[in-house]
Structure 1
Amino acid sequence: MTWFKNRQTAFAFFKLAFQGNSDDILRSCCVAVHLLTVEGMRFLAQDVLSWVIGNIELRRSGDLVEFMWRGHHEYESDFSALDSLMRAFVKAEMGSQALEMVGRMRDVGTRPSLSAVTDLIKLLLGVGDYGSVWKLFRDMLSKGPVPTNYIYNVMVHGFCRKGFVGTGESLLHVMSKFRCEPDVFAYNILINAYCIKGRTLDAMSWVHFMVERGVKPSIFTFSTVINGFCKEGNTIEARKLFDGIQEMGAFPTTIMYNALMDGYVKAREITQANMLYEEMRNKGIAPDCVTFNILVSGQYKYGREKDGDRLLRDLSMSGLLPDCSSSDIWVAGLCWAGRLNQATELLQEILEKGMPPSVVAFNSIIAAYSKVGFDSKAFETYNIMVKYGLTPSSSTCASLLIGLSRTCKLQEAKKLMDKMIEKGLSVNKVAFTVLLDGYFKAGDTVGAQSLWEQMEVIGLAPDAVAYSAFIDGLSKAGFVEEAYD
């Protein structure tokens, strides 16, 4: 394994060479881990150990630990052996076994590394084992390693993701008692969580609070709050903040303009969106692909095709965007105008010319086909996208699921979602909510409840729309008490 040029090849060779799970095989694997560690190849050693752990029965994990521990002094220290085991269990998502390794470290007079504990906390938060998180955190305060800002941020983020914003807020308040001061990242996590919950005024209070504490808001801070106000339909407050950020020492960026512009379009205030675009141009702030996608889609969506065509022409002549981005906008514009055949032909031309394809263009066509119920065409476009080596985004998945759910192909939709989760692809709340609604409409309450539980398992906190869909579905199915709860 040490002869191979890179870690991935060496690991692939190991998986090919070591088959079976007899005691002799497990002992040999442990020796390999020790030797790789001695050679300074700790990451490869951890890859090997986590793979072995993931491929043996749970009851045999204890045997593996003992095989690793016996004779480890010939190769490495107590800390090194237990650290490798702890990290391997975390990678295999076996939180309780990783916690046991922390306990053994304490017993032999050593302590876990900060990075390993951070990974373990992330895992425990993800599976909802909050009791173990708090116990581990208390042990850190009394026995080390001392929590840093990053640890606090991880915990604040983990609890906020699960919907426990109050817990995240409490953590932020107590940081200073343990010699850590909240940074802009900690505040941004909390501000974003309040915006997701539809409590943007509370988020704005935290912006004022962080300024009072001498922490300068970032571009992300302002963009998040502006976007939050816009999602609530409160474009007036969004504009107030947009106009007032210069007083706080910041200047509007393309991202902020896009957030407010999107809010105007969704509120059907197209004229305001166009004026904002002109203001952006006059101030010398360069628009990007997102800017034009927002504007063009808005023009077509609300029946202003002439304005949409004009904007596309201006864009193609202005040279503001590189060719690939202009192509994305043209494809999106044609999709919004309902000219799907032309959009598909344009994408085909782009590919034939050898221009680098973009996820944006593919997503536009997939979304449009799914919206009108042409599932086969949507999947055909999806397969071409994968063929060109592009990674599907959460929008891709949501669009495909919308199409399948609307045509009541719920089994296919669920298989697609599971496949994407298995591959580590991003599946957003929209996708879950669409499928959830589909289950209820088909009368499959059990399937809907199972999906709801799956959201919790993978650490995806439901938003107000998802809760509304779930409550509505339970009520109509006769489960009024569950809906009330």
Structure 2
Amino acid sequence: MGLKSQTIFSNGKPISLLINNRNPFRPFSVRSALLSSSWFLESLSSVISSRKRNPNSHFASWNPRNMPNLPHSLRFHYPSFSFSYSSSTNPNASSRISRSNPRQNHNSHLPKVNSDEFMEIIALVERGGDDMELKLNQMNPRLSVTSVSKILNLLNDRGVSALCFFNWVQKNCSDFNPNSEIYNQVINNTGLLEDYESMLVLLTELSLKRHCLTEKAFGFLKVFSYDQVRIGNSVERIVEILNRVKGSCHNSGIYALIKTLCALNSFNLAIFVMEETARKRSYYHVLIAAKCRSGDFQEARDLFDEMKRFGCDPNTKSYNYLLGSLCKKEKIAEACELLEIMENLGYLPDSVTFEVIAFHACRLGRMDAAIEFLYQMMSEGLEPRITTHSAFIKGYFWSGQIQDAHKYVVEMCGKDKHSSNMNYTLLASLFQKSGRVVEAREILVEMIEKGLKPNFPVYMRVVKDLYKMGKGGLIADLKCRYLKFHPITDNR
């Protein structure tokens, strides 16, 4: 293989690295590293077996859900770990802002509509009639984005057309500035009522405004999914519309439609959408992720051959989907085989590939093996992702290796300074959530002394918990240290 071994030391422990002696510019074989690691084929199986035999072991009590709450980008890279997907993974779509985000509601200064007015508006829209707009004008409600969103949700649940109401809001509420989520709800309403002409008009308008579609626009397909003829006809009409629409709604709409159909396990219809529009690698990734999520690994692998036939060659990201799923299902032999295929085809491992392996080792409590792959990754010039650091810190912490979690944060502060702030803040948060508030404060003090500013919500949670404990002195000292990031200026 042309590999030579080089040993470095981490926290006093020897770490063996595999270096490609033939071509130092080509990353080493991950598969070779796995095969050389005793844990992966032998110890890993024994760990799995012992966990099943002894569910009360120290590590079995650790909940894998306490592993990193991955950001949206990795959730899509990592479908195998049962993390939810987000439309932010759509390369053609802008990021969505959650409803809880105050920046989403541009009309937050408006007074809230009381419950009586709210239900009266619903009743008016539901009744319809020529006098609906007149009565709404007489009510003169001050509707925020959040209020309109709630009304649209209720109208969709009741199968009532929302177009007249939406047009009235746009015309009469000068402060109302609809966002992408609102528009997606209205598109969903037209689909639910099978009003495809209105859908075309709306999509054309949205593309001009550069809005993007998400799965919410096609939520009505879930209602249609119980009737195969109905959902088939609907998808056919939607594809015709998307092919006529240009701009942002075209690409984002196709992507969101394929994603919606895959979530409904309507894979044949998803393939039909690609046949009628375009075959892209990103579309196939959605299919591969869905197949992996449902455990259909052979069908997922068959998609790789199909991609090649249609000129959508897979890349490392494509294989990472399948690799993550195999590791989660503890199919170690298949994972090794896949890594060999990747190597033979020339697909070099990236930071996500390493993270899949390291995450799996952390999940099984094999932190020694995980750290070995981390240093191997760094030796190849690949920068660890924030989620990789999070996996290690949480892995150490929730398996009871608190000191090792702290050592990891300190050591990475010198090796990967870009992640230092988040790593320290995460560790402080873990201490605070586990009731070890004084230790959480010590972590905040340590990071402040290094010139790192703590995350404000975490800082405030620690201060509040210290207040409940009557630790006024510790609070005063922490606040004094935190003020270095907000110096008081004399305005005289």
- Which one has more relative contact order, counting CA pairs under 8 Å at least 6 apart? 2
Larger proportion of helix: 1
